[in-house]
């Protein structure tokens, strides 16, 4: 069963049975007041605005039994999966592995590493722990998608120009139709969000498509 999604630069058809909803890094440390992101001086309300649209799309995906994939950016407590080039950046007190307001920053198992309760994974949903910005690098995501014959990715999450963009670029090169859902993504920098989406759909959709939660809900209704 194929449905038509209103999108830019052109509408596209997708089959929900071969489409995955991929929700990138909606973690407490990036989104919640008092988390790591806010301690760096960021306005987390920009990111929190993406939660309700994500919830709507997630509910629709669950209703249809679509594959749902959640990702979390983070590292092992011994940091053995974090390259020195990533560890050495930032102020020493705000580096990966340093103590943060919600536990050690970007370390698996710490409170801040958890997905926000509003988007908590349900039993049976895929949770990908990724050491990089892209969700394919050094993870099992490619295998998970291949096992389900997935062809299209509806991508939500934070931040638009960092982990969402990297994942869409990785997915595009691997042959997936990648669709960024504009209101389900967010950045600490509104201009980066806007331009990040522009970059995806430029040149006839150089990295993929841009759509919205409303368009997905209409297509899946």
CA atoms within 13 A on the CB side of 169: 13
| Shortest distance, position 158 Cβ to ligand TIU, whole Å | 5
Nearest to ligand TIU of 5, 116 (CB atom): 116
Site for ligand TIU in 110-129 (CB under 6 A): none
Is 113 within 8 Å of 105 (Cβ atoms)? no
Reply yes or no on whether 184 is catalytic. Answer: no
Site size for ligand TIU (CB under 6 A): 6
Q: Show the 3-state SS of the chain.
A: CCEEECCECCCEEECHHHEEEEEECCEHHHHCCCCHHHHCCCCCHHHHCCHHHHHHHHHHHHHHCCEEEEEEECECCCCCCCCHHHHCCCCHHHCCCCEEECEECCECCCHHHCECHHHCCCCCCEEEEECCCCCCCCCCHHHHHHHCCCCEEEEEEECHHHHHHHHHHHHHHCCCEEEEEEEEEECCCHHHHHHHHHHHHHHHHCCCEEECHHHHHHHHC
Residue 209 corresponds to which tokens in the numbers above?
């498509």
Instruction: Print the binding letters for residues 72-111 with ligand TIU: x by CB under 6 A, - otherwise.
Output: -x--------------------------------------
Stretch that binds ligand TIU, among 59-67, 117-125, 154-162, 174-182 (CB under 6 A): 154-162
Site for ligand TIU in 22-41 (CB under 6 A): 25
Reply yes or no on whether 86 is catalytic. Answer: no
Residue 26 corresponds to which tokens in the numbers above?
């909606």
**Which among 130, 133, 184, 201 is annotated as catalytic?**
130
Nearest to ligand TIU of 8, 25 (CB atom): 25
Please pick, from the candidates 54, 67, 141, 162, the single residue that binds ligand TIU as defined by CB under 6 A.
162
Site for ligand TIU in 188-217 (CB under 6 A): none
Q: Does 159 bind ligand TIU (CB under 6 A)?
A: yes
Nearest to ligand TIU of 5, 210 (CB atom): 210
Q: Does 167 bind ligand TIU (CB under 6 A)?
A: no
Q: Does 158 bind ligand TIU (CB under 6 A)?
A: yes
Residues that bind ligand TIU (CB under 6 A): 25, 73, 158-159, 162-163
Active-site positions? 25, 130, 163
């Amino acid at each position: 069963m194929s449905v038509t999604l209103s999108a830019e630069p052109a509408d596209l058809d997708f089959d929900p049975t071969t489409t995955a909803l991929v929700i990138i890094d909606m973690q407490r440390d990036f989104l919640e007041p008092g988390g790591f992101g806010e301690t760096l001086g960021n306005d987390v309300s920009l990111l929190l605005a993406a939660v309700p649209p994500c919830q709507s799309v997630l509910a629709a995906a669950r209703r249809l039994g679509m594959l749902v994939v959640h990702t979390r950016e983070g590292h092992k407590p011994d940091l053995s999966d974090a390259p020195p080039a990533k560890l050495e950046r930032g102020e020493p007190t705000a580096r990966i592995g340093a103590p943060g307001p919600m536990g050690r920053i970007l370390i698996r198992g710490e409170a801040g590493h958890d997905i926000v309760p509003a988007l908590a994974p349900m039993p049976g949903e895929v949770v990908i722990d990724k050491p990089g910005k892209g969700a394919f690098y050094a993870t099992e995501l490619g295998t998970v998608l291949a096992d389900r014959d997935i062809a299209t990715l509806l991508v939500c999450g934070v931040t638009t120009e960092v982990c969402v963009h990297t994942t869409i670029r990785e997915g595009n090169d691997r042959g997936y139709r990648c669709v960024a859902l504009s209101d389900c993504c967010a950045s600490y920098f509104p201009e980066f969000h806007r331009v990040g989406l522009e970059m995806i759909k430029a040149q006839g959709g150089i990295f993929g498509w841009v759509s919205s939660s409303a368009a997905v809900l209409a297509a899946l209704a």
